[in-house]
Amino acid sequence: MEESGLETTTKRGNRPFIWLEMRTVMISLCILATGLGISLVVILSMKNQKDPQQLALENLCLTKDCVKAAARLMDAMNTKVDPCDNFYDFACGGWKRLNPIPEDSSSYSTFEQLRNQLQSLLKDLLESEISDEENISIQKAKILYSSCMNKSLLEDRDLSPLRIFLDELGGWPVVDINWNESNFNLYSLMSKLRLYNNNIFVYMWVSTDEKNSSTNIIQIDQGDLGMPSADYFTSKEHEDKLNAYKKFAENVAITLGATSSEAEKQIEEAIKLEIQIANITEPSEGRRDYETMYKKFTIEELTNKLPEFDWLKYLTETFSAANITLTTEQPVVVYALDFLTNLVQILKVTPKKTLANYLVWRIIMNRVNNLPKKYRDMKKDYHERIFGQQSETPRWRECATFVADNLGNAIGRLFIANYFDEEAKKSAKEMIHNIREAFNELLHEVEWMDSSTIEVAQEKANAIVERIGYPPYILNDTVLTNMYYHVDYQADFYFENVLTTIRWNAMINLKQLGQPVDNEEWLTPPAVVNAFYSSTKNEILFPAGILQPPFYSKGYPKFMNYGGIGMVIGHEITHGFDDKGRQYDKDGNLKQWWDDVVIERFKNQTQCMIEQYGNYLVPEANMNLNGIITQGENIADNGGLKQAFRAYEHWKKKTGGKEQTLPGLSSYTPEQMFFLNFAHVWCGSMRREAAINRIQTNHHSPGRFRVIGPLQNSPEFSQVFNCKQGSYMNPEQKCTVW
């Protein structure tokens, strides 16, 4: 469900919140004045029956969240736009004017506003005084945050922590005149870097075996690149990005002691190596058929297949750090055999110095954020070229994000205790039940699938496990203490604290080998604004962080909740049946459970959607969307909206469906308000660089098309807003999968 980018709010970015508060106050004053006027009429007329104005007031939802929602929705709208001409511009046309992108952000949206608000709450929790009565894991989270925020000590220590770390890695040739290639071992260095979660050349991890969802197995895939997209290395149109990337590396090398000439020469060779790797990297478009990608070998078989690389040495050295012994019979799953075949040929002929320079640069690049400001500033031009980000993220946000990402259950325990409404779990559970029923009903309306496959698909839908809010085990002091037992932090050693955290995370992953899959373990901590589907667990998950306005409030009318979190619930359910999810059975195993005819029909349905989204022009980039890499998310968006609206309609029939309206928006029907809140969630804007990066790398369509695409395919939307057939929002051709 992710909407990419954790952004911040600068002084300029705060203005919309001030205006929102003013607008809320104005609406409240109007309501109060109306109420006083009605009271006066009643007193003067001495009538027993209710005045029409009083009835109108009673039909308004006047909870705090409703008043805020009304202000937020009206501020974002541009009512001069006909909703049938462009519903995104109608619902979001005023949003950008009141919500300029902060300088430290590459994009900004309603989704990101909620993330920013949540991070502010986490900041307050992390900055509260440490108490001896708190769980030790919570104390550790606060110490880690405090060490990150100690800017004066960070400046005083300068580069000394990084230099010590580089010595442990064997040095960086470009800055170390005493570096000796006879001491270099590719497998040892790759193993060391993997223990700090750097997956360079190859991506290796332990996770659920896709074909046996009860066991964990070693998995190998193509490695990460230093820039977000292989195109940034290989395409002439992105030459400015590649040059900024090179300059970033050169400046870091010079800062650490390299001469300008050596930095330029040696970094150039390292980047040439990375360009070679980018050229053999398999693009996302060709990596959607997991059955074809999945190749299982023993280490011995993999070595025989690719003898130029010592797989046993690399894997044995890595896992020995976790006290795990491997043999040549150890099974591994490979997902990028062609890539690895080409990679080992490149590594075989590349000089050791170039290999070392590239590998060490990649880990230094990731650690620049943990250095004093003058070194962090060296990445400024690079970040501006890639993302359009014009200034550094505020320190507190960087620190809160790092703690939340790594000690999420500790800080999540605090978040739950202070900010989460348990009523949200009950409401979400009820909505999941209703939306699952809607999915099953719609499933029987699918014309391209035969009845026997529909029955099996319904079994899978009914087998989906739901997780809401937070895992119960984080409330257990013993469990929470043991969760972070192996990490200890010192307030004066931030750089070392970061390395400790990263290495500990790597150890947790490696130690899963040989252990059964823990089906009770959550995919995410609670204080996260996102939602998830796991194909190997057949599980949907809605953390506490997303069960907030504008997605959900117990004070909202149902049309708001179904248009918000309801669509998200449907989206995640549909992921079990998108082009990737449909490859897994109800038990989470990669298995063909559709016959070839049904698969071919499914592909025909999805092709319509691929072409629809591929024809959308992203105005910020003047580029078309990639309909192939976004197809899974687009299928989920379309299915989620359809299910949520069907479930809302059923709720109205069951309950009588009489709902209060929002102040200032009473001219809109509940059904229209459903679609309005759905659209509002995706209001936002992007810088040109961010838009290009998103098109190249992100599997989610930009917010504009997460609104327009599903609504153009929705007959219900066109009926609700009376859009004529052939209008932009009601095209004659509609795409539907589920």
Q: What is the rounded CA–CA span in Å between residue 300 and residue 282?
A: 25
Q: Any idea what the Cα angle at residue 428 is, between residues 427 and 434, rounded to 5°?
A: 95
Question: Quick one: CA dihedral 697, 609, 210, 517, positive or negative?
Answer: positive
List pLDDT tens digits, range 540-549: 999 999 999 9
699 pLDDT more than 90: yes
Out of 104, 398, 539, 637, the active site residue is 637
106 pLDDT more than 80: yes
* Residues facing residue 542 across a β-bridge: 468
H-run or E-run covering 331? strand 331-334
- Among the listed residues 289, 490, 443, 267, the one whose alpha carbon sits nearest the alpha carbon of residue 357: 267
Out of 250, 572, 585, 671, the active site residue is 572
% residues pLDDT > 70 (the chain):
92
Q: What is the rounded CA–CA span in Å between residue 539 and residue 541?
A: 7
* Residues facing residue 215 across a β-bridge: 516
List pLDDT tens digits, range 540-575: 999 999 999 999 999 999 999 999 999 999 999 999
24 pLDDT more than 80: no
37 pLDDT more than 50: no
Annotation says 572 is catalytic: yes
Q: Within the chain, how many helices (H) and strands (E) appear?
A: 34, 11
Angle at which helices 239-255 and 352-367 pack, to 10 degrees? 90
CB 567 within 8 A of CB 548: no
CB 233 within 8 A of CB 275: yes
Give the mean pLDDT of the chain: 92
Q: What is the rounded CA–CA span in Å between residue 335 and residue 287?
A: 9
- Residue 706: its pLDDT value, please? 98
Across 48-70, average pLDDT? 75
Residues 6+ away with beta carbon under 8 Å from 17 = 9
In order of their start, the domains of the chain are: 68-100+434-462+558-721 (3.40.390.10), 159-371 (1.10.1380.10)
CB 148 within 8 A of CB 398: yes
pLDDT band at 59 (very low <50, low <70, confident <90, very high): confident
- Residue 704: its pLDDT value, please? 97
Long-range contact pairs involving 187-192 (C-beta distance under 8 Å, separation at least 24):
187/310, 187/313, 187/314, 187/317, 188/317, 189/355, 189/356, 189/359, 189/360, 190/314, 190/359, 191/314, 191/317, 191/318, 191/321, 192/168
CB 569 within 8 A of CB 431: yes
